[in-house]
């Protein structure tokens, strides 16, 4: 099926949400992408770690324990994390102040290594993320999945969104939209499906000038059982 125009998508979302004003109030503000350059590399490691631990777990529990995570892991200082020997990692993984999951704790050092290796190319990790083009955001997802630990699926994209990098997300509503319109088939995380979804978002961006995050929310509002005005904005969209 031919991809819908942005205008058709927008008008359906307007109808579902009760008008232009109501819909626009639900769309996220445009992020200043240059603000990424102000983020230190330890904050990237912290964001990756938080999303790894939140994946498949109760988010509010992770949030409650997060100050202890910061303390236990040296505020995610890249050099200090990389210097931790195996026995120290094991001890920290059993600390009751954090969520005790050794497999997830191991990702902290692995993802610190990914950031460190990019630093060896002569720039901060923040600069690397900042320069990655939004029209190939799935390429950045693939990079995080390949070079990082447990950053595949939506974990890496959620972390990028939390840090302010413009990205869409493959939420259930987004996947449902592309399947309902016969735009993708098979696995949503296959290279072909992701490329098709990226192409669609690129087209809508060219037509509207909206960010990927705004378009992601808009597609979700134009799909599924959400005809009434939302009482709250779900971060998954």
Residues 87 and 185 grouped into a single domain: no
Same-domain check for residues 47 and 98:
yes
Dihedral angle at the C-alpha atoms of 65, 142, 217, 52, nearest 10 degrees?
-10
Nearest to 236 by CA among 155, 181, 164, 165: 155
Considering the domain boundaries, does residue 159 fall inside one? yes
**Mean pLDDT (whole number) for 217-227:** 83
60 & 99 share domain: yes
**What's the whole-number mean pLDDT along residues 4-31?**
96
**Which whole number is the average pLDDT over 114-142?**
97
Question: Are residue 104 and residue 212 in the same domain, yes or no?
Answer: no
Residue 71 lies in a domain: yes
Its domain, for residue 11, covers: 6-31+168-221
Same domain, 181 and 72: no
Phi (first) and psi of residue 120, to 5 degrees = -70, -10
Q: What pLDDT is attached to residue 2?
A: 81
Torsion of Cα atoms, 28 then 13 then 191 then 163, to 10°: 10
| Predicted pLDDT of residue 232 | 41
Whether residue 232 lies inside any domain: the answer is: no
Same-domain pairing of 154 and 187: no
pTM, to two decimals = 0.92
Same domain, yes or no, for 111 and 181?
A: no
- Give start and end residues of each alpha helix (H) in the chain: 6-17, 20-26, 41-54, 59-72, 78-82, 86-93, 102-119, 125-131, 137-147, 155-163, 172-180, 191-208, 212-221
Average pLDDT over residues 210-236: 74
Name the domain count of the chain.
2
Q: Please indicate, yes or no, whether residues 188 and 158 belong to a single structural domain of this protein.
A: no
Q: Are residues 94 and 188 in the same domain?
A: no
The pLDDT of residue 227: 53
Out of 16-20, 121-125, 229-233, least confident range: 229-233
């Amino acid at each position: 099926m031919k991809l819908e125009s942005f205008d058709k998508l927008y008008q359906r979302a307007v109808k579902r949400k009760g008008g232009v004003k109501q819909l626009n109030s639900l769309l996220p503000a445009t992020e200043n992408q240059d603000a990424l350059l102000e983020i230190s590399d330890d904050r990237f490691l912290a964001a990756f770690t938080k999303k790894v631990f939140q994946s498949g777990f109760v988010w509010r529990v992770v949030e409650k324990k997060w100050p202890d995570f910061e303390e236990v892991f040296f505020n995610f200082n890249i050099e200090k994390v990389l210097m931790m020997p195996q026995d120290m990692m094991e001890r920290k993984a059993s600390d009751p102040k954090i969520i005790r999951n050794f497999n997830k704790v191991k990702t902290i050092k692995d993802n610190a290594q990914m950031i460190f290796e990019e630093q060896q190319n002569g720039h901060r990790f923040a600069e690397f993320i900042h320069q990655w083009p939004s029209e190939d955001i799935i390429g950045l997802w693939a990079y995080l999945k390949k070079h990082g630990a447990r950053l595949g699926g939506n974990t890496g994209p959620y972390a990028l969104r939390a840090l302010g990098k413009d990205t869409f997300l493959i939420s259930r509503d987004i996947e449902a939209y592309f399947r309902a319109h016969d735009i993708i088939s098979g696995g949503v995380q296959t290279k072909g499906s992701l490329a098709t979804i990226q192409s669609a978002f690129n087209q809508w961006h060219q037509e509207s000038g909206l960010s990927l995050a705004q378009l992601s929310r808009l597609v979700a509002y134009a799909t599924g059982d959400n005809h009434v005005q939302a009482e709250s904005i779900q971060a998954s969209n």
